[in-house]
Each structure stands twice: as C-alpha cells, then as structure tokens.
A and B are shown apart, each in its own frame.
Chain A
Amino acid sequence: MAVCKACNAELPKNARLCPKCGTKVYQPPKNIRILAIVGAVIAIIGGLLPFIQNAETVKDAYSYMSYLNNKNYAYPNHEILWYFFMLALVATCIIVVVKKEVFSIITTVIAGIIFALTMNDLKTFLAEPQYTIGFGTYVVIFGLVLAVAGCFFDILKYRKTIQYDTRYFTNNKSTWSRMVNHKWFYLMFLPVLIFILLFNYWPMLGIRYAFTDYVKLPVYVGIKHFHKMATKDTYFWMAFRNTLELSILKLFLNTSMAVIISLLLHEITNIHFKKTVQTIIYLPHFMSWVVVAAIFRMILTTSESGIVNQILVNLNIIEEPVFWMGTNETWRPVYYIINIWKDTGWGTILFLATLSGISPELYEAAQIDGANRWNRMRYITLPALANTIITVFILNLAKVMNLFESVFVLMNDAVIEVSNVIQTYIYTQSFSGVPNYGYTTAVGLFKSLVGCVLVLGCDWASKKVRGRGIV
C-alpha cells in the first residue's frame, strides 16, 4: 500500500490527493507524448525546408510541389495546401500537449494526406532532385511516421492507465470547461505571447539565412558557410577561443575573489562598517560598461592624467608610460582587473546571504572544542558555502557564450587578436563594409548551439547538485 509522504497516512488505490492532509501524491504516468511532439516538430521543420532552399515566399517555396504536379507550372497555387499542412501539424502539437492524444491522430493523418497529395509524383521527385527540397522530403516523412507512431503509443498507454479512483480527483472537469474558466488568463497572457513570438521566435525562423548567401536577397548555398567556418576562417576560431578563454577565466577570477571577500567581510563584527563596505563594493555594478570603459580609459591613458602610469613611473617600476589597453600582452590582465573591479562586489551578495544563514551555534560549539579561526572556516564555513559556489558557477557558465558588451567597449583594433570574441566578430562582420548576413547568421547559429549545449549541461548539473534546474 502506498503511503503519503507528508503525513504517513495510507492511501487509497490511485489517489491523486492524500485524503488526510491534501498533499498531492499522484504522479501522472510518464507516457511517450514526447514522441508525438518530436515527430510533429520534425515534420514542421521539414515543411519549412523549402524556404531555405528556394526563396522567401511560400509560393516560390512550394513551387517544387507544383512542379511535380504539373511540369508547366499551370497550377502553381498549391501553397494553400502548405498552410493546411503546417496548420495540421501545429494542431497536433497543441492537442498532444493538452493530453487529447486521440484527436492528434486525426490531425497527423490529415497532414500526411495533404503531404501525399502534393507529393504524389514521387518518382519524378526522386529522378530530378534539383527541383526538390532535397532531404526535406525524407525529414517530413520521418517526422510524420514518428508523430503517428507516438500518438498510437499514447493511446495504448492512455487505455492502460485510465482507471483512477475518481473520488480523489482534484479536478474532474473537462479541459474545455477549464479553458472557459480561465478565459481571462489567456487574454492576460496574450501580450506576453505576442512579444515572445515577435522578438524571440520570429528571429529563430531567420536561422534559415545561415544556409544562404544574404547580401541583398538570400540565395541558397547549403552548408557552404559552415564549411568555411570549419576550414578557412581563422578569425572565427580565434574569436571562439578568445570567448572561451576570456569568459571562463573571468568567471573563475570573479567567483574566487567574491568568495574570499565575502568570507572576510563575514568576519567583520561592526554592523555599520560592514553595511558601508557593502554599499561601496556594490556601487560599480550600476555603472554601464560604457561608463566603466570611459573611467578606466582616463585612468590608464599614457598622457599626464593617467594616474596608473604616473604612479608606476614615479615608483620606477616602469620606464615610460605603457599603453595598457592597446598592447596585446596587457589587454587581458587589464580586462580581468576591470571585471573584478566592477562585478566582484555584486557577486558577494549570494555568498553573504548563505553565510548569514549559518547557525552561530556551530561556531560557538567549534570554539569550545578549540577550533581556531582557520579551522572554523575550513570545517564549517566552506562546506556551507560549497553549494552556493557551485550554483553561482553553474548559473554563470550557462552565459559563457553571451560575452559581448564588456569586450566590445574595451577592445580596439590594436588588440583584436586577444580580444575579439564571437559576438563582437558577428557585430563587426555584419555592420561594416558589405555584410553577408548569411555568414554572420551561420556564426551566430554556431554560437547559439554551443550556448544551448552549455545551458542544458549546466541545467543537468544543477539538477544533480542542488535538486533544481537553472530557473
């Protein structure tokens, strides 16, 4: 017999809520819904492939299907079918998500029929691939098969797990009536949805330019850009290496400095002094990178107002003023120091919050046992802090590829070898001279993919380490 985790009461068979304390105990059975969705999404991507290959408009993109049906292009208006095809697939996704798998079979099959209708001349398609979407067709076929298979699996699963004890259901209303109940919430979500679609999802469609030469109009070139990136473009690899080196070393330095400073700050007993120090070290965080760059440019110049050079020359450490920001050897150390100056203070917030949560009794007990300051730090403070350190590390590791503004405002042409990162590379390639948006999109896509892997890896690590994901 199952037992409620919260109150240890015995549970009736298939209960969703504990009858005694009301805690949720029901775990929905994991079914293969994901298979249906993946199938539908693959089919959607396959349906979008003609865009990449042919042109910008649906009409042109769909002309390959028209061509197959009528070689003289007499009836080129098949594009309406394309809309239906995509609509059916999107409907499949939505239906599967709201757990009405039975109906998703219908939409998927409809999508399949439409596809078959437009592709009825498969022989010609195979014989003359120059008019086709290449492997796009296979992608669509594979996706549709997967979607249908997924839906069937779901129905089988669904039948097996249908018998619940309905008395303990939290909500046995139908989906539709719950949707009607929540109609105002859908209205409230609408603005967010519009913004997300406009500024986050629409740009994702622009990834198709990565497979085109886009100077004035996009022209399909396949994976030419990726080939160029992998083999010829040394600047790209330099930028990639710089991105990793700069942001990972920066992350290490910032985090370790923040840990040291918060450990020491925690030892300060005078509340007012501590509060003042905190206020001061948080200050630089509110300055924009432009301001920080301006301030340090003035401090580090070679002219008389550059106090760093003046002091070092007066102390006879260096012979004559060094152009700190314009020399390959000094740019990186300066960059790290500026980063530490700006962000270390802000980074201590989380550590200080954790430190203030450690029970003082632990320290007292340790003191009675004769532990000195170092031992107390070694055996009490650091273990308590370890989890937060890992958290901060993981959260920031996910952002490694996004390095842009800090480098962009501090770099200059003289130090491009050590400072150019992927984002600045994309920027300078896209907004100077005659840009090929296709190539820079490809570089951006590479950056996004690496970033995606990093985020997912960090999320996985985060779940392992602290039991919850990044957000």
Chain B
Amino acid sequence: MSNVNKKKQKVKVFPIFNTVLFIVISLIILIPIWKVIVDSLDASAGYGMRLWPNQFTLDGYKMVFTRSALYRPFLISCLVTISGCFLGLLLSTLGAYVLIQWEMPGRSFFAYMLLFTMIFNGGMIPTYLVIKQLGMLNTLWAVILPLSINVYNLVLMRNFFEGIPASLFEAASIDGCSPIGIFFKVVLPLSKAALASIGLMFAVAFWNDYTNFKIYVTKNSLYNFQMKLRGLIMDGDVPQTGDKISDNTIQNVTIIVAIIPFMIIYPFCQDYFVQGVNVGAVKE
C-alpha cells in the first residue's frame, strides 16, 4: 500500500518541479530585460533592482526622438535594415531560382562556386582592402552590399524552392510564360513563407550588425544604432541633457530602443523564424 502511495507521489512531483523550473528559467531571462525597462523609465536609475520605477519619466524616450545624435543612428539602422533586407532577398531568390534549374548547363559549376565561399574565404583584411579599393570605406554601401550576399540563406531558399512541384513550372512555361515571368508569377507568390522567414533572418542580421560598421565605418555621422549604443555604454559618450535624467537612464533607454523593433515583431513571426531554422538543418 505504501508503495503505491509513493509511486503516485512521484508522478505528481515531476510536473510541478518542471513547471517551477521553467518559471525560474523564464525569470532568469526576463529579469535583466525587466531591469533595463524599469531603469529606462526611472529618472534616477542606477540603484540596484527595482520592480517599478521610482521617479517615473518618459524623458529618456523623448530624448531619443528629439536629439539628432540619437535619432540619426536609429534612422541609419532602419535604412540599412530595409535596403539590405530587400537586396538580400532579391539576391537569394534569384540565385536559388537559378540553382533549381537542373537542365541548365553550368548549374553545378555555379553551385560549387557558391559552396566554395562557405568553405574558404579571404579573411578580414583582404576583404577590407577590397572594400577600400572599391572606394566604399565610410559609406553605407560597405555595410549593405557585402552582407546582402549570404550563401547560407541562398541555399536555405533553394531548399524551400525545391518543395515547389516541377509540374507548375512546366504548366506555366507551356502557357507561354517566360522564365522571369515564372519567377515573379509562380515562384515568389508560392514561397511567401520562405520570403518572410529568410527576410526576417536578413533583417535581424542587418539591424544587429556591429562588426561591419566597426571595420568599415569610422565616420561618426554614419554610425548605426548599435555603434551609438556601444559608444554610450563603453565610453560614456552620453549626449548632454540639462534635464533631470541620469546618464544611466539614457543608456537603458538606448538599449530598449535597440531591441524594441524585434521585440514587437518577433512574437507574431515566431513561426517563420522557427521554420527557417528547421529547414536549414533538418530537411532531408
């Protein structure tokens, strides 16, 4: 009898333990973010952990949208993200569409050419010298163009495209549709999920880009938000306010502004992100 009781207890304990564990894990992830949010709304931030701001203020956020030193990097980030995302999607869809033309002479040559760049690369300095020779240093081209050709995303897109039945292409071409027509009228409308998923990947990469800016851009007026944030945190390069908000508040505000676009978009697009990861690795 006691044995049965023990067994019953065991079965009950595990789910509770599990639930508590995941609440703790969620808290570990959320507490740092929550601290930043609270501090960004507190005029006298910088004094340990608070659950709620002491002196509630929105001045920090107001500053981001009134000071050109802060909203300019934000706009540059937006510009780079949107244009890079568009260009990246264009290149990966074009490349992926060509790579599924099995009858095309030279297809495998192109495929190997793309794959080789994944195996071997020139390295940081030769790439820097090429960008320099192209006259792209200290322009936004240097951060948009090299990052927009991403062979990994291109291959991912090809995996998506391979799922489109070949009979659709045949039917369209019999109806007199040109290859470019098929691309725009058949392939793209059928792969909206793929476009969303890979587009989001590009967007995250461009929005979070710090390395390329650090290497290729030395002009202060062309910094993106990540660069600005880094300067604010590391060098205490906080714009003088004259208001009653502390430097720490402004730093927290910039952190929030840097993550807010994806925090808003992401819960709605979670499935696309997850799909992108799964197609990349699991597809047989």
* Interface of A toward B, CB cutoff 8 Å: 94, 97-98, 171, 175, 178-179, 181-182, 184-186, 188-189, 191-193, 195-196, 198-207, 209, 261, 264-265, 267-269, 273, 276-284, 286-291, 293-299, 303-305, 307, 310, 341, 345-346, 349-350, 353-354, 373, 388, 391-392, 395, 404-405, 408-409, 423, 426-427, 430-431, 437, 440-441, 444-445, 447-448, 451-452, 455-456, 468, 470-471
0/1 per residue, B114-144, Cβ < 8 Å to A? Answer: 1101111111111111100010000000000
Flag whether B45 is at the interface (Cβ < 8 A): yes
Bound complex: CA A29 to CA B32 (Å): 60
Bound complex: CA A207 to CA B126 (Å): 7
**Shortest CB–CB separation between residue B157 and chain A, in angstroms?**
11
Task: Establish whether residues A282 and B270, one from each chain, have CB atoms under 8 Å apart when the complex forms.
Answer: yes
Chain B residues with CB under 8 A of A298: 35-36, 39, 248, 251-252
Chain B residues with CB under 8 A of A291: 208, 226, 229, 255, 258-259
Task: Establish whether residues A305 and B46, one from each chain, have CB atoms under 8 Å apart when the complex forms.
Answer: yes
Flag whether B4 is at the interface (Cβ < 8 A): no
Most chain A Cβ neighbours within 10 Å, of B18, B105, B118, B248: B105
Bound complex: CA A303 to CA B30 (Å): 22
Task: Establish whether residues A188 and B97, one from each chain, have CB atoms under 8 Å apart when the complex forms.
Answer: yes
Partner of B15, one of A269, A288, A452, A471: A269
Task: Establish whether residues B21 and A178, one from each chain, have CB atoms under 8 Å apart when the complex forms.
Answer: no
Chain B residues with CB under 8 A of A283: 29, 33, 263, 266
Task: Establish whether residues A303 and B46, one from each chain, have CB atoms under 8 Å apart when the complex forms.
Answer: yes
Task: Establish whether residues A267 and B210, one from each chain, have CB atoms under 8 Å apart when the complex forms.
Answer: no
Task: Establish whether residues B117 and A200, one from each chain, have CB atoms under 8 Å apart when the complex forms.
Answer: yes
Bound complex: CA A303 to CA B145 (Å): 42
Interface of B is mostly: helix
- Tell whether A279 pairs with B130 under 8 Å between CB atoms, given A196-B113, A468-B284: no
Task: Establish whether residues A267 and B15, one from each chain, have CB atoms under 8 Å apart when the complex forms.
Answer: yes
Chain A residues with CB under 8 A of B33: 283, 295
Chain A residues with CB under 8 A of B22: 264-265, 268, 273, 277
Task: Establish whether residues A405 and B94, one from each chain, have CB atoms under 8 Å apart when the complex forms.
Answer: no
Bin the interface of chain B by size. 35 or more
Chain B residues with CB under 8 A of A470: 118
Bound complex: CA A437 to CA B128 (Å): 10
4 A-B pairs closest in CB distance = A206-B126, A444-B123, A203-B122, A288-B208
Task: Establish whether residues B210 and A350, one from each chain, have CB atoms under 8 Å apart when the complex forms.
Answer: no
- Tell whether A184 pairs with B180 under 8 Å between CB atoms, given A204-B120, A404-B211, A423-B124: yes
- Tell whether A206 pairs with B259 under 8 Å between CB atoms, given A283-B33, A471-B115: no
**Shortest CB–CB separation between residue A465 and chain B, in angstroms?**
13
Task: Establish whether residues B120 and A294, one from each chain, have CB atoms under 8 Å apart when the complex forms.
Answer: no
Bound complex: CA A91 to CA B122 (Å): 24
Closest to A429 in B: B125
7 examples of A-B residue contacts, CB within 8 angstroms: A97-B108, A185-B179, A280-B29, A295-B36, A426-B125, A430-B128, A444-B126
**Shortest CB–CB separation between residue A177 and chain B, in angstroms?**
10
Bound complex: CA A98 to CA B110 (Å): 12
Closest to A93 in B: B109
Task: Establish whether residues B106 and A264, one from each chain, have CB atoms under 8 Å apart when the complex forms.
Answer: no
Partner of B117, one of A196, A279, A404, A430: A196
Contacts A268-B19, A277-B25, A286-B208 known; list 7 others, CB within 8 Å.
Answer: A191-B91, A196-B151, A291-B229, A294-B251, A307-B48, A350-B277, A455-B118
Flag whether B71 is at the interface (Cβ < 8 A): no
**Shortest CB–CB separation between residue B133 and chain A, in angstroms?**
9
Bound complex: CA A53 to CA B270 (Å): 54
Task: Establish whether residues B226 and A290, one from each chain, have CB atoms under 8 Å apart when the complex forms.
Answer: yes
**Shortest CB–CB separation between residue A397 and chain B, in angstroms?**
13
- Tell whether A288 pairs with B282 under 8 Å between CB atoms, given A192-B94, A267-B18, A269-B15: no
Closest to A452 in B: B120
Task: Establish whether residues A191 and B255, one from each chain, have CB atoms under 8 Å apart when the complex forms.
Answer: no
Closest to B146 in A: A199
0/1 per residue, B17-46, Cβ < 8 Å to A? Answer: 011011001101110110110010000011
Task: Establish whether residues A373 and B128, one from each chain, have CB atoms under 8 Å apart when the complex forms.
Answer: no
Closest to B22 in A: A277
Flag whether B1 is at the interface (Cβ < 8 A): no
Chain A residues with CB under 8 A of B233: 293-294, 297
Closest to A181 in B: B103
Bound complex: CA A187 to CA B66 (Å): 46
- Tell whether A178 pairs with B105 under 8 Å between CB atoms, given A184-B178, A189-B110, A373-B14: yes
Chain A residues with CB under 8 A of B109: 94, 97-98
**Shortest CB–CB separation between residue A55 and chain B, in angstroms?**
16
Bound complex: CA A182 to CA B98 (Å): 9
Task: Establish whether residues A310 and B121, one from each chain, have CB atoms under 8 Å apart when the complex forms.
Answer: no
Partner of B98, one of A185, A200, A295, A409: A185
Chain A residues with CB under 8 A of B106: 94, 97-98, 179, 186
Flag whether B61 is at the interface (Cβ < 8 A): no
Bound complex: CA A437 to CA B274 (Å): 41
Most chain B Cβ neighbours within 10 Å, of A195, A287, A294, A303: A294
Flag whether B60 is at the interface (Cβ < 8 A): no
Partner of B118, one of A175, A181, A284, A471: A471
Task: Establish whether residues A440 and B105, one from each chain, have CB atoms under 8 Å apart when the complex forms.
Answer: no
Bound complex: CA A251 to CA B119 (Å): 20
Closest to B47 in A: A304
- Tell whether A295 pairs with B121 under 8 Å between CB atoms, given A277-B26, A283-B266, A350-B277: no
Bound complex: CA A437 to CA B126 (Å): 8
Bound complex: CA A181 to CA B178 (Å): 11
Closest to A261 in B: B25
